C-alpha cells in the first residue's frame, strides 16, 4: 500500500501560492504545483 505523503508549505511557498492565485491560476492547479491537496490550500486562503 502506497500512501501519499502530505506536503507542508513553507512561508515562501505560501506567498508564491497566493501570488499565483491572484494572477488567476486555479486553486486546483496551484495545489498541484506545490504537491498539496486543493482543500488544504483552500483552508489557507480563507
pLDDT at position 46 is: 82
Domain boundaries, the chain: 11-45
Yes or no: say if 27 and 41 are a contact pair by the CB < 8 Å rule: yes
Could you tell me the CA-to-CA distances from 7 to 23, 24, 25, 40, 44 in Å, in that order?
23, 23, 20, 10, 14
Please write the tens of the pLDDT for every residue from 1-46: 444 555 789 999 999 999 999 999 999 999 999 999 999 999 988 8
Q: What cell numbers appear for 5 in the block?
A: 505523503
Amino acid at each position: 500500500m502506497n500512501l501519499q505523503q502530505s506536503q507542508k508549505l513553507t512561508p515562501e511557498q505560501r506567498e508564491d501560492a497566493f501570488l499565483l492565485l491572484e494572477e488567476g491560476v486555479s486553486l486546483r492547479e496551484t495545489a498541484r504545483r506545490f504537491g498539496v491537496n486543493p482543500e488544504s490550500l483552500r483552508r489557507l486562503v480563507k
